[in-house]
Each structure stands twice: as C-alpha cells, then as structure tokens.
Amino acid sequence: MLVVGSGGREHALAEALATSHLEPEVFAAPGNPGIARVAQTVDIPASDLVALRHFARDNGIDLTIVGPEDPLIGGIAECFWEDGLKVFGPSRAAARIEGSKVFAKEVMRHAGVPTAEFEVFDRQNSALAYLRSRQEYPVVVKADGAAAGKGVTVARTRDEAEEAVREAFSGRFGAAGERVLIEECLVGREASIFVMTDGREILPFLPAQDYKPIYDGNQGPNTGGMGAYSPIMWMEPATYAAVLEEIIRPTLHQLALIGATYTGLLYAGVMVTEDGPKALEFNCRFGDPETQVILPRLGSDLLELMIATNEENILGREVVWSADKAVCVVLASEGYPETSSTGDRISGLDEIPTNVFIYHAATEERDGVFYTAGGRVLNVVGTGPSIIEARARAYAAVERIHFPGMQYRTDIALEAMELEDL
C-alpha cells in the first residue's frame, strides 16, 4: 500500500492500514517522522504524480491511498490507471466536486440538493454591483477554485463582502479567484459526514465536528482545523439519514449521470439548519482533523473497506464502530495561521498514555529529537467511553507536551461534553 501525503490525517490512515489483518506492507510519500514509525517513508512529494506512479509500478504497490485533495484534483487517479495501478480516490472529473465550488453548486442544483442560494460572478464589477443591490447581510463570498481553505469569507457587512470580492479578483488565490460565488449565509450547526462509495452504493461513516477558527469561542481567523470530536450526539438519526438521502445520494447520482462517477471517500460539509441539513461543500478526500477522531474508533478493517469499495462490492456491508468517543486537540506552532514557526524543539513525546493517539502533522526528527516543521504540528487524540473521558485524556496528554510558542484551543468538544452531561 502507498499512502500519499504528510499530515496527521495520513498518519492516522497509515496506522489504520498498518494494523489491517491483511498485513500489508505500507509505504508513505513523503510521510513524516510519526508515519515513519508505522510505514516506510519515501522521499517523493505528493505533487510529483509521475514519480509516485513510477514508485508504485516499480514496487508492486497494490493500492494507493491519496490523503490531500491537490493530487486528486490534478488527476493522480488517471495518471496511475495508465499503468494499470489502483487508486483509492476519485478521478479528476469527479474531484471537481471539491476543485470547483461553482461546479459543485451546479451539480447540487441539478440534483435538487438543499444548499445555500447562490450567484456566480466572473467579473469584479458585476459582483460589486450585486452586493450593492443586496439587502440581506451577512453573506458568504467564495473563490471558485481550491484555495487551501482560505478562499471563503463569511462577511457580516457589505464592506467586508466588497473587500472579499476585491481580494478574490486581485489574484491572491491564483486561478481559484477568477470566479466568485456569493451565497446566502446559513445558520446552524456544522458537521462533517464521510461516506465511502463506488459511485452508486455508499458506506456511511459516523459524523464528526471540526473547529476551524484559531481561538477559543470560534474567534480569530480560520485555520486548517484546530480540533475535532466524534461522534456528534446532537445530530438526530433522522437528520443523518436526510444527509445521506437528500445530499449525498443525489449528488453521486448526478455525478454518474454527467460521466463523472465518484469513487473513494466523499466528505460532505453540512449545516444543520432549522429547515434541515444543507450542503456547504464537498471534499474529495478524508477530512483533517476529522479522520484522526474517526479512524481510532473504526472497528472494521479500513483496508478491507477500501478494497471492497474499489471492487464495487460494498452492497450489504456495514461499518463497525467501537463504542468509544474521540476528541482531537491540534497543537499549532507560533504565528499560525498567518505564518508558522519551524525548528522549535518538541518535548514530552517519549511516553504516550493509554487511550491516547498522537499523530504527527508537521514535525521533523533529527538525532532522535522532534522539532516543529509547520503550522499544525501534532494532533493529540483521546478516546474513552464518553466525551468527558476522551476529552480529559486528550488534554492531559497535551499538558505533557511542550514546544516554544505552542498554541491550542482549550474548548474542543466542550459543548459536546455539556450536552452529554444533561
């Protein structure tokens, strides 16, 4: 098996694969020092699709599991298929569901999927004119293409919205900003829903919630994700069923209809509103850090599920879960998310307490010592029979870890714990 990527998500994936009862030999490109403990790391960047393909071909890789979106949007599946190599993840055509927000909205419109009302603009002037004529604020401004999570602004006022439109058209997001979506701001609770799919059948995973803003109380700028927990008790089974039937299935059906059959892991970001769940976005891969709270609780064999998905053999299968809950706290470096400090020495990783998983997201190892190597450094996951216990274990483990400038949120899963208390 070959895992492509180098973050905490890929660490969790590599670990779940390495413990499969099929006993695979696991490689990771480029991996990281945490991944190197469970897999053989290979020094090829996730962006070098041709080098990855040659590695897979020359080393008899049976299945390549792609962590990040960029290689999928860039067509890694098609690239590998040319050599008869198997990939767990969608084709370039299907990955557009994440690669273009306008494409995703068009698919949703044709499929009748509940989502925010929207308008598309390919010129700055027409977008600004629209904002001037619009009465209701807040409004959401999105650059069309993948902008590493930075292309979305929830604008409270017209001024903020105009600023976001100008920023998108300024070229700051590259080609991603050449078209802009302006959409209705939805109010409710957000959830991340994953399904594995062969394009027709689905294998639903339990939902998770992530925390995007850097500071407690959801203050400050958005990040790649500062924490997560799973499952989410506030989501009613009927709501979850509605996400599958009204959002995910019609979207998959529509993609198949237009010749972009989706296979792999589909991630729907949804807002549970007063009118039921509505789709915020789709991602063409596992979420980060949601994967880090989902995989430790997976009772089924991840590799078996992936193989069954690729062989279109998932009908009648069920995903089995442990009764445990999981809470992930992300430790970020100084300056994140605007910048990130690197080379800070990390201490406290020698002993990992029981029921705790520590996934490396951006670390470097020199002479047996770990250093920070990016914005999100480590993911500390606690598990236990309740959110209270899982959360206590995660934060107790966080207390043992130190590096200069370390930042983390202290309120991950706090409201989930309060709900559990009732």
Residues in contact with ligand GLY by the rule CB under 6 A: 210, 225, 283, 287-288, 290
User: Count of CB atoms within 10 A of residue 315's CB?
Assistant: 11
Q: Which residue has 């990783």 as its token pair?
A: 349
Find the shortest distance in angstroms from Cβ 85 to ligand GLY: 25
Of the candidate spans 149-157, 320-328, 360-368, 406-414, the one that interacts with ligand AMP by CB under 6 A turns out to be: 149-157
- For the chain, the straight-line distance linking the first and the last C-alpha, in angstroms and rounded, comes to 44
Binding site partner of 283, from ligand GLY, ligand AMP, none, Cβ cut-off 5-8 A by kind? ligand GLY
Instruction: Rule CB under 6 A: say whether 191 interacts with ligand AMP.
Output: no
Class of residue 295 by CB neighbours under 10 A (exposed 0-12, middle 13-18, buried 19+): buried
Please identify, among the stretches 19-27, 181-189, 234-242, 394-402, the one whose residues bind ligand AMP according to the rule CB under 6 A: 181-189
**Please, which residues have CB within 8 angstroms of residue 255's CB and are 6 or more apart in sequence?**
94, 97, 107, 199, 261, 262
Gyration radius (Cα) of the chain, Å: 21
CA distances 370 to 20, 192, 348, Å, are: 28, 31, 10
- The single residue among 116, 191, 196, 387 that binds ligand AMP, judged by CB under 6 A, is 116
Q: Are 377 and 363 in contact (CB under 8 A)?
A: yes
**Contact region with ligand AMP (CB under 6 A), list: 28-36, 90-98, 146-154, 362-370:** 146-154
Pairing, β 219-230 against β 325-332: antiparallel
Residue 363 CA to residue 371 CA, distance in Å, equals 6
Binding site partner of 183, from ligand GLY, ligand AMP, none, Cβ cut-off 5-8 A by kind: ligand AMP
Q: For ligand GLY, give the closer residue by CB, 41 or 379.
A: 379
Q: Considering beta carbons, is residue 201 or 290 the nearer one to ligand GLY?
A: 290
Torsion-angle region of 312 (φ positive above 0: left; ψ -120 to 50: alpha; else: beta): left
Contacting residue, 70, 98, 167, 183, with ligand AMP by CB under 6 A: 183
Asked whether position 334 contacts ligand AMP by CB under 6 A, the answer is: no
Shortest approach of ligand AMP to residue 145 CB, angstroms? 11
Residue closer to ligand GLY by CB (options 210, 324) is 210
- By C-alpha distance, which of 413, 380, 376 is closest to 148? 376
- Please count the other Cβ atoms lying within 10 Å of the Cβ belonging to residue 80: 24
Minimum CB–partner distance for residue 69 and ligand GLY (Å): 8
* Position among 97, 111, 152, 243 found at the interface with ligand AMP (CB under 6 A): 152
- For 86-177, where are the alpha helices, taking DSSP H only? 92-99, 101-111, 124-133, 158-169
Say whether residue 213 binds ligand AMP (CB under 6 A): no
Select from ligand AMP, ligand GLY, none the partner in contact with residue 152, using the beta carbon and a kind-dependent cut-off of 5 to 8 Å: ligand AMP
* The one among 62, 190, 301, 365 contacting ligand AMP by CB under 6 A: 190
Interface with ligand AMP by CB under 6 A: which residues?
116, 140, 149, 152, 154, 183-186, 190, 212, 269, 280-281
